[in-house]
Amino acid sequence: MDRAGALAGLNRRLLETFSRRTTGALRAILPLRLALPRIEPFLALNVAKEVRKDAIVIRRAAQALAQAAPPDAALARQILEDVRAIDREFLGATARFPVRIAIPYARIDPLRLRRIGRGLDLAYRILEGWRRGRRLREALAREELERRLRELLELYAEETQALSHSVQLPGLLAALRERLARGLQRVMNEAARQLALEAAFAVHRRRPAARGGRDSRP
């Protein structure tokens, strides 16, 4: 069974839901709605980029588990360097949009390193539990799972907000950049809080088991 692939799939669904909720909330803010058509493709590419990076984090956690070597800071730093290739692909893909982006690594790298470290630790913990036949709700209490998910999503929000400061909008929309950056982080933090709460509750909500077996949740 590809447990790392299954966990990466769950993470992809979480981040895609996070992105949809963020975009929906931004549409409700009138001044930001004007800029949204310009940045929505950027947000979609950004979440796809982060899904790929998180999948690498999860695979490396699985490799560390197979070697009985819990992930450490050195592994997190190595991953940070390895995912730069994904950044380059992202910048190439955004070149066709009417915005210009320069990734401010000096500001973003400390945030990324923290998120990679927390992601490695959480993935290792979940995969270790699955290998022992434990369900996710048995490996992590609801409050701890909610806290860990919220931390990861809020770090993602901080990264995205920092990146949004480097987005150069055309014409009159340039005046909205700072307001967009502030609004984006506020909206993403609220979405992170609510989504982490819902995800943790869903994992721990007990459902009737199928006759002769256990329920199918992770």
pTM of the model: 0.86
What residues contact residue 101 under an 8 Å CB cut-off, 6+ apart?
42, 91, 94, 163, 166, 167, 168
> What is the reported pLDDT for 216?
46
For residue 87, give both structure tokens.
């950044």
Residue with tokens 């190595």, as numbered in its chain: 78
Please list the pLDDT of the chain residue by residue as tens digits (218 residues): 799 999 999 999 999 999 999 888 877 775 666 666 667 777 788 899 999 999 999 999 999 999 999 999 999 999 999 999 999 998 888 777 666 677 888 989 999 999 999 999 999 999 999 999 999 999 999 999 999 999 999 999 998 888 776 666 655 455 566 666 677 778 899 999 999 999 999 999 866 554 544 544 56
Q: Which residue has the tokens 């506020």?
A: 186
Residue 140, classed as helix, strand or coil, is coil
Residue 80 contacts residue 109 (beta carbons within 8 Å): yes
- In degrees, to the nearest 5, what angle opens at C-alpha 15 toward C-alphas 11 and 20? 145
Q: Residue 141 CB: number of other CB atoms within 10 A?
A: 12
Backbone angles phi, psi at 216, to 5 degrees: -95, 10
What separation, in Å, do the N-terminal and C-terminal C-alpha atoms of the chain show? 13
C-beta neighbour count of 36 within 10 angstroms: 14
- Per-residue pLDDT, 30: 54
